[in-house]
Amino acid sequence: GEEITLDYATYHDERMRGFECDCGSAECRGIVRGDDYLLDVVARYEGHLSEHVARR
């Protein structure tokens, strides 16, 4: 089967407590936070965020 990827930041908000990700992907940010919609993050990951997160 194909690998399914999920970005917790696309459906959690800034109240979410951050945690380290251990997925091992080269594309991983390493720490998952609920405030990944910040402008610098949006710019860095343009095209890889859900529309909901990019609009916030």
* 11-51 confidence digits (pLDDT tens): 777 777 888 988 888 878 788 887 765 667 777 777 787 77
Q: Write the Ramachandran bin of 53: left for phi over 0, alpha for psi from -120 to 50, otherwise beta.
A: alpha
Does this model's pTM top 0.85? My answer is no
Which neighbouring-strand residues pair with 19? 32
pLDDT for res 30: 85
Residues in CB range of 25: below 8 A, 6 or more apart: 5
